[in-house]
Amino acid sequence: MATDDIHPESLTAQGLGWVDEATRAISPPIHFSSTYLRDADNGYSSGRVYMRDQNPAFDQAEALITELEHGHQTMLFATGMAAATAVFQALHPGDHVLAPRVMYWSLRNWLLGFATSWGLDVELIDMTDPAAVQAAMRPGSTKLVWVESPANPLWTVTDIAATAEIVHRTGALLAVDSTSATPVLSQPLDLGADLVMHSATKYLNGHTDLTAGSVTTRGDNEHWQRLRSVRAQIGGTLGSMESWLLLRGMRTLFLRVRTASASALQIAEHFDGDDRVAEVLYPGLSSSQGHEIAKRQMTGGFGGMLSIRVAGGEEAAIAVAATTRLWKRATSLGGVESLIEHRASVEGAGTPAPPDLLRLSVGIEHVDDLIADLDHALG
């Protein structure tokens, strides 16, 4: 049966249905060899030379992500940051790139620190405004536009299709960080993006027990080949055990993401309008500024991430996070357990996160328990 005839839920649950040909095992083997045997003529008919970028442990997970993203090819990396920064390292010094003002904090710091000192011309703009994107484009100089949607930690939404049209007019590439949306809810490549990146540490793995990253391309081109060289030569690749764990985590991806998304919407609706909450930030709310765009480019839910602004200000927000029992005070997102974090104090100076904001990563616990715990903490 061709994969076109099978629902993505089934493909993911069975890891594309691959079976180990040597043993007929349903669960894939874990490959630990760091090198591979040469042929008698000193060649490599196996197609593998060295573990760093040719580990067979990558094959099944990469193929599954490629299938889910409707892409051409995927590369795994050791972390989400390794995947994201490789996209920029595949450019040339002097290239102009655009990135959103609201985005994953670690990558923002890397862009404004290392990337600029290395020679990239980095400009941060309001990526939710197509007019601002159009005005910032420099034909011949702008080589890459980076989008995150929904964007951490305000969960603003960028119109990927409209942005792709603007970006491609000048011959630039569009890359989308789709970590919070996941391929369960959105396929940016179908909307016109050239690359889609995931911090696979988060929802793809979903169990808070490894770090990983992935980049998927819509097609082969010079930038993709340079990106492949960056991975091979810098060496930010995933280990064998982590690759196996990532694939195991992805088998429950659809169940986890849909549960978290449904619960997040219920939590957002419950606290929207609560006098103890100044604002609920979630694209699934009809009052959200990006709701209509999110409805167009997300299917089956709006994600498991939301933020609340506590009416009492910064001190009250920190106190709420300190009082919850089920919601754990910890950095990260996308796991089976629900996490709460005061982002402004974590990110520090220059953060776009308001001081009264708490970021919530909704897990798969019973939603009534999550609401009751947060309600008690707010009280």
| Domains of the chain with bracketed CATH | 3-250 (3.40.640.10), 253-378 (3.90.1150.10)
User: Which regions of the chain does DSSP assign to beta strands (E)?
Assistant: 73-77, 96-100, 121-125, 142-148, 173-177, 195-198, 213-217, 277-281, 305-310, 328-329, 339-342, 357-361
- Exactly one of 108, 143, 159, 177 is catalytic; name it: 177
- Exactly one of 36, 48, 52, 309 is catalytic; name it: 52
What pLDDT is recorded for position 2?
Answer: 58
- Quote the CA–CA distance of 302 and 304 in Å, as a whole number: 7
DSSP string, 315-376: HHHHHHHHH-SSSEE-S--SSSS-EEEEHHHHH-TT--S-TTEEEEE--SS-HHHHHHHHHH
CA proximity to 204, closest of 157, 258, 257: 257
What pLDDT is recorded for position 53?
Answer: 87
Question: Mean pLDDT, consecutive 10-residue segments, the chain of 379 residues?
Answer: 81 92 89 89 83 90 98 98 98 98 96 96 98 97 98 98 98 98 98 98 97 98 97 93 97 98 98 97 96 97 98 96 97 97 92 96 98 97
Active-site residue 258, yes or no? no
What pLDDT is recorded for position 11?
Answer: 94
DSSP string, 134-165: HHH--TTTEEEEEEESSBTTTTB---HHHHHH
The amino acid at residue 189 is L
What pLDDT is recorded for position 22?
Answer: 86
Active-site residue 202, yes or no? yes
What pLDDT is recorded for position 1?
Answer: 47
Contact 231, 212 (CB under 8 A): no
What pLDDT is recorded for position 350?
Answer: 86
- Exactly one of 53, 104, 194, 218 is catalytic; name it: 104
What pLDDT is recorded for position 345?
Answer: 94
What pLDDT is recorded for position 321?
Answer: 97
- Exactly one of 202, 258, 343, 359 is catalytic; name it: 202
What pLDDT is recorded for position 48?
Answer: 87
Active-site residue 177, yes or no? yes
Structure-token match 């990337």, residue found: 115
